Amino acid sequence: MNGARPKILVGDKIVDEALEMLRAEADVDVRIGIGQPELEEIIENYDALIVRSIPLVTEEVIRRGKRLKVVGRAGNGVDNIDVAAATRHGVVVVNTPDSNSFSAGEHTIALMLASARNLPQAHQTVKDGGWGRSRFMGNELYGKTVGIVGLGRIGSFVATRLKAFNMRVIAYDPYIPLERFKRFGAERMETLNDLVRQSDFITVHTPKTEETIGMIGMEQFRIAKKGVRVVNCARGGIIDEEALAWALKEGIVASAALDVFTKEPCTGNPLLEFDNVVVTPHIGATTFEAQHRVGTDLANYVLSALKGEIVPNTVNLPCLLGEEIDTMRPFLELAEYLGRLYYQLEKVPAERVELIYNGEIARKETGILTLAFLKGLLSPVMGDQVNLVNASWLAENRGIKVCERRDEVSKTGHVSLISVIFTGAGRRVEYAGTLAWDQSPRIVRVNGYQLDVVPTPYMLFVEHIDRPGVIGPFASALGEADINIAMMQVARTVKGEVALMILSVDSPVDESTLRRVRQLKGIINVKVVFM
Ligand SMILES: NC(=O)c1ccc[n+]([C@@H]2O[C@H](COP(=O)([O-])OP(=O)(O)OC[C@H]3O[C@@H](n4cnc5c(N)ncnc54)[C@H](O)[C@@H]3O)[C@@H](O)[C@H]2O)c1
Ligand SMILES: O=C(O)[C@H](O)COP(=O)(O)O
């Protein structure tokens, strides 16, 4: 951020403590309820944008946000943010999914009980001076089967609580291992329809995706138990609203409890006409505790992301937990160095890149290292345009095929080794690097040459003939140009043939010195590398 205070636009309510944290390091404008046209107009002035489930962060907003680096979602669902567009533009999207899940889980159970026992209807009757106890006959949860669709954070929270009600918990989530079902005491259903057929209560806890929109629809209501009760505290439309209205009319569904709607606010929604539909205005996360956690966690993430740090819960980067980020930091640096070498040493476009993670590193989240490598690869040719978020997209766009291989068994004696093989225009180039005992990155192989080089800001890679009297004049020429050599290493494969000398110098080498050293006897080529 070049030392200037960043500017942050806050587009919805977050707690005062979070605003104070942001204001300690940034200039903050709060525009609660900002409309789309105004957001598009002013976004160019901001480095970060903070939203909740509104406003919409469209491709247009991101495109116009010329200096936008971070979109922070104070909450969980990012379906109001065009994450793909953010990724293409290198904008980091962070959210705080762990911070409000207890509140959303508890609200789910509140809705389930409220609808099963007609609480809002009974409450209103008494308030209106009535009594009419017999009208409010409900169902117990005790001994019933609840079908949980999506056994993630909130689904699993709900599962463990409902076990305490002595419910049989069944769940459908094809994207998690069996072990997770066991951990939360849920029986795994092979198909959604198996779950639907057996459930007295159905509650959905998936994100809103192409696959989950309308996943509880006509087909499911047709096979559901008569008298099933449904709850949606996830996202509007996961339970198809038209199909639900039909199933309510047909008496298939005994009650529905909804915190979320396809269109919010849900004024005019036909579901509001049904007495047995209990509704709340998307307040699953509306507790003091959740909003405090959401706001303060997000303030920390946004400020860190603005400093270029990797933060947990970055939606458009592979998931790393807090302590993993520290372990991975030196590897990230190493991967980026390996990437930076290529276009500075070679003038052949890379068509295919294979990254091989060998030893202990193969057990870690290597996806993020591949992104760091791609950032390093493209930055000499694309400058600041490339970052971890858009590196993969930019590489793909340039026709670079990237693949990863992992082998936990070390073949070279290194605890961890990252090797990269580039192919393009019939050429094959290979680099490898590791971490030294102090966790500092080392380049240990450049094509066939074995070395142990510390990457530094100014480096020279010199191929020369392996014979006496070549290195001395080279070093002297640098000395005469007042360029100090901090480190020098020479490696060869065959005695008397071509050798590689790598130097770290304390200052950039000017053009005339480069011309001079390139002409020295025995020197084949001299390449300048900036790390
Ligand atoms: N009402 C609210 O105020 C409120 C508050 C917080 C979260 N939410 C919403 O709750 C939902 C769940 O949040 P979470 O934090 O538990 O998410 P999560 O990512 O932890 O869990 C979602 C689970 O859904 C599963 N899933 C995805 N696609 C599926 C499919 N097609 N079929 C079955 N399972 C599928 C995933 O494997 C995952 O386990 C999200 O939609 C979120 O936006 C709502
Ligand atoms: O996804 C979420 O975090 C919840 O739906 C809450 O949304 P909100 O921040 O707009 O209340």
Question: Residues 104, 217: one domain?
Answer: yes
Write the pLDDT tens digit of every residue in 118-141.
Answer: 999 999 999 999 999 999 999 999
Within this chain, do residues 265 and 134 fall inside the same structural domain, yes or no?
A: yes
In a domain, 374, yes or no: yes
User: Residue 494 has what pLDDT?
Assistant: 95
pLDDT of residue 249: 98
Closest-CA residue to 214 (of 246, 232, 233, 241)? 241
Whole-number percent of the chain with pLDDT over 90: 92
Q: Does 226 fall in a domain?
A: yes
Please list the active-site residues: 235, 264, 282
Pair (358, 444) in one structural domain: yes
Lowest mean pLDDT among 140-149, 305-314, 352-361, 398-407: 305-314
User: Which ligand has its closest atom nearest to the C-alpha of 294?
Assistant: 2
515 domain residue, yes or no: yes
Among candidate residues 455, 482, 510, the one where a domain is terminated: 455
Instruction: Return the residue matching tokens 């959905």.
Output: 204
Residue 2 in domain: no
pLDDT at 368 over 70: yes
CATH code assigned at 451: 3.30.1330.90
Q: How far apart are CA 26 and CA 29, in angstroms?
A: 10
With b for 16 or more beta-carbon neighbours within 10 A and e for fewer, the 428-452 pattern comes to ebebbbbbeeeeebbbbbbeebebe
Examine the domain organization and report whether 149 and 297 are in the same domain.
no
pLDDT mean across residues, the chain:
96
Instruction: Tell me, yes or no, whether 312 lies in a domain.
Output: no
Number of domain units in the chain: 4
Q: Are residues 85 and 105 in the same domain?
A: no
Domain range spanning residue 485? 456-530
**Which of 96, 178, 206, 286 best tests ligand 1's pocket when mutated (most atoms within 8 Å of CB)?**
206
- How would residue 181 be classed by pLDDT, with cut points 50, 70 and 90? very high
- Mean pLDDT across 449-467: 97
Q: Can you tell me the distance from the alpha carbon of 412 to that of 103, in angstroms, rounded to the nearest whole number?
A: 51
Residues 90 and 209 in one domain: no
Q: What distance in Å separates the CA atoms of residue 308 and residue 331, rounded to the nearest whole number?
A: 16
Residue nearest to atom 2 of ligand 2 (CA): 76
Shared domain for 267 and 173, answered yes or no, is yes
Q: How far is the CA of 26 from the centre of ligand 2 (A)?
A: 25
**Is 70 part of a structural domain of the chain?**
yes
User: Is residue 313 a part of any domain in this protein?
Assistant: no
Residue of 173, 192, 261 to mutate, ligand 1, most atoms within 8 A of C-beta: 173
Q: Looking at ligand 2, which atom is closest to the CA of residue 235?
A: 5
**Residue nearest atom 5 of ligand 2, based on CA coordinates:** 77
Which of ligand 1's atoms lies nearest the C-alpha of 286? 3
- Whether residue 149 is found in the same domain as residue 91: no
DSSP 493: S
In a domain, 1, yes or no: no
Boundary (domain end) residue, out of 259, 279, 299: 279
ipTM of the complex, rounded to two decimals: 0.99
pLDDT tens per residue across span 493-522: 999 999 999 999 999 999 999 999 999 999
Q: Is any ligand 1 atom within 6 A of the Cβ of residue 150?
A: yes
- Name all residues whose Cβ lies below 6 A of ligand 2: 52-53, 74-77, 100, 282, 284-285
Residues 120 and 133 both lie in one domain: yes
pLDDT confidence band for 2 (50 / 70 / 90)? low
Residue 207: asked if its preceding bond is cis (omega within 30°), the reply is: no
CATH code where residue 517 lies: 3.30.70.260
Instruction: Verify that 253 and 372 share a domain, yes or no.
Output: no
pLDDT tens figures, 262-287: 999 999 999 999 999 999 999 999 99
- Alpha-carbon distance of 389 to 396, in angstroms, equals 13
Mean pLDDT, residues 11-19 = 97
130 and 244 co-located in one domain: yes
Does the pLDDT of residue 207 top 80, yes or no?
yes
55 CB within 6 A, ligand 1 = no
Strands, DSSP E only, in 311-440? 352-359, 401-407, 416-424, 427-435
Tokens read off for 403: 């693949």
Q: What is the pLDDT of residue 310?
A: 87
pLDDT in tens, 335-366: 999 999 999 999 889 999 999 999 999 999 89
Q: Which of 411, 439, 455 is the last residue of a domain?
A: 455
Give the predicted TM-score (pTM) of the model: 0.86
Domain identity same for 354 and 395:
yes
Give the residue whose CA is nearest to atom 7 of ligand 2.
53
- The candidate with the shortest Cα–Cα distance to 39, out of 26, 23, 52, 58, is 58
CA dist 172 and 181 (Å) reads 9
Contact 199, 180 (CB under 8 A): no
Nearest ligand to residue 74 Cα: 2
Please check the confidence at residue 384 and state whether its pLDDT lies above 90.
Answer: no
Query: Which DSSP symbol is given to 314?
Result: B
CATH code for the domain of 271: 3.40.50.720
- Across 160-172, b (16+ Cβ under 10 Å) vs e yields ebbeebebbbbbb
Report the pLDDT averaged over residues 234-253: 98
43: Cα within 13 Å, side-chain hemisphere: 28
- Within 10 angstroms of residue 2's Cβ, the number of other Cβ atoms is 3
For residue 284, the ligand closest to its alpha carbon is 1
d(CA 239, CA 262) in angstroms, rounded, equals: 9
